[in-house]
Amino acid sequence: MSSLLARISNKSAHVVVMGIGYVGLPLVAEFARVGFRVTGFDKDARKVRALNAGESYIDDVSSDELAPHALEGRLDASTDPEVLGKADAVIVCVPTPLNKTKDPDMRFIVDATDEIARHQHPGMAIVLESTTYPGTTTEVLVPKLTEKGFRLGEDVFVAFSPERVDPGNAVFKTRNTPKVIGGATPACLEHANALYSHIIDQVVPVSSTETAEMVKLLENTFRAVNIGLVNEVAIMSRRLGIDAFEVIRAAATKPFGFMPFFPGPGLGGHCIPIDPLYLSWKLRTLKYQARFIDLADSINSAMPDYVVERIADGLNEHAKAVRGSRILVYGVAYKRDVTDVRESPAFDVLVGLQKRGAAVSYMDPHVPSIDEHGLAMTSMDPADGFSSYDAVVIVTDHASLDRPRLLAEARLVIDTRDALRGVPGDHSKVLKL
């Protein structure tokens, strides 16, 4: 047994988590909970101050899960990269966005790898969790972390383990969500497996880092493609005069061979709109077109514009133009009952309506204000009701939405989530996708 493996086994290893957002903070909480000394490293001083005070800033981790460990000195945070030099294990949870041409923006992974290499010492385990294209660990991390003579699988242990965070999921959290792990060598896999086994109920070892990288991309490509399919079904059903949501719910009664996905105003969140395009980009470098991915992206990316068209159609039917109309967008979080607005289609809907001259407002009890995409707005108070608007667009169907009141007060509703199904009232003023 290596000395590092022994430290992991007896929990004396010091774990540093790079990037303490939606992915990193739950890991920090879990490692601290089982008794590891853990440090969150982030360039965001606000997150570092909050974590040092034992205060959470994301929905899925409570301050009660952090405060006792911060008080005992087992958990802390820093903006100083020198903490990496004291680490036995480093878990990298940095962003992997797309650039303006929808190509992978790898600078955060590259910068993190360079920072680790500057503070590297023998006997470190480095695990990348950031979603990326197959080959990243082998092509980016391994060369950099072995260039100073560190031997892979002996002095440095490199692995990839894709994050599987689902914000707002009340059932599946970090511990009870199975964890896929691929090592750059068998010894690398052994060390990463030992580390995660302390905080995860079920680890799933695979044969390589490339396999582990592909697992994550398959998971989210599966969802993106199926959402693209049902979004197109919604467009086709509208032309046929059929309720797509009713079709899908009826089809879902089949006990085999069908899995329901539902249409919506577009994709949001940190995974589904982005991850499949990492795979598509990688395949283009190999002169192969990922046709399902590209088609799904084309359909899903067009949905916010389609929603704006449906709003315009609805207003026209009421002898109104978009220009000058007062329109309320309900929900800017990317999914129900979370505060996360990353990649939310609501922004494209708001901007699209503004460009057409509408007077737009938004209401979201989970997001009190927004300041991005050229929009600086404050949420309307739900107590004010819906009667003063020419149209209300349901983009995110938060549980707290007063559906009966909305249906009673609103003059026109564009329901992109089928949120008003079964609510008593006048549904003649409700338009769906």
What is d(CA 179, CA 158) in angstroms, rounded to the nearest whole number?
A: 16
271 belongs to the catalytic site: yes
- Catalytic entry in 16, 29, 271, 303: 271
Distance of CA 157 to the CA centre of its chain: 27
Quick check: 349 and 308 in contact, CB under 8 A? yes
What is d(CA 103, CA 358) in angstroms, rounded to the nearest whole number?
A: 33
Backbone angles phi and psi of 331, in degrees to 5: 95, 115
Query: Residue 201 corresponds to which amino acid?
Result: D
Q: Measured at the alpha carbon of residue 15, what is the angle toward residues 9 and 20, in degrees to the nearest 5?
A: 140
Quick check: 132 and 99 in contact, CB under 8 A? no
* C-beta atoms surrounding 82 within 10 Å: 10
Q: Which two tokens stand for residue 201?
A: 């109920």
Q: 174-201: string of b/e by CB count within 10 Å (b at 16+)?
A: beebebbbbbbbebbbbbbbbbbebbbe
In sequence order, which ranges of 37-139 are alpha helices (DSSP H)? 45-52, 67-72, 107-118, 136
What is d(CA 151, CA 187) in angstroms, rounded to the nearest whole number?
A: 11
Q: Measured at the alpha carbon of residue 130, what is the angle toward residues 123 and 229, in degrees to the nearest 5?
A: 150
Q: How far is CA 283 from CA 273, 280, 417, in A?
A: 17, 5, 33
* C-beta atoms surrounding 329 within 10 Å: 28
Q: Which two tokens stand for residue 430?
A: 């409700």
Quick check: 203 and 179 in contact, CB under 8 A? yes
Considering all CA atoms of the chain, what is the largest pairwise distance in Å, rounded to the nearest integer? 77
Which stretch of DSSP H or E encloses residue 228? helix 209-240
End-to-end CA separation in angstroms for the chain: 59
Backbone angles phi and psi of 205, in degrees to 5: -75, 140
| SS3 labels along 292-320 | HHHHHHHHHHHHHHHHHHHHHHHHHHCCC
Taking only Cα atoms into account, the Rg of the chain, rounded to an integer number of angstroms, comes to 24
Query: What residues are annotated to the active site?
Result: 271
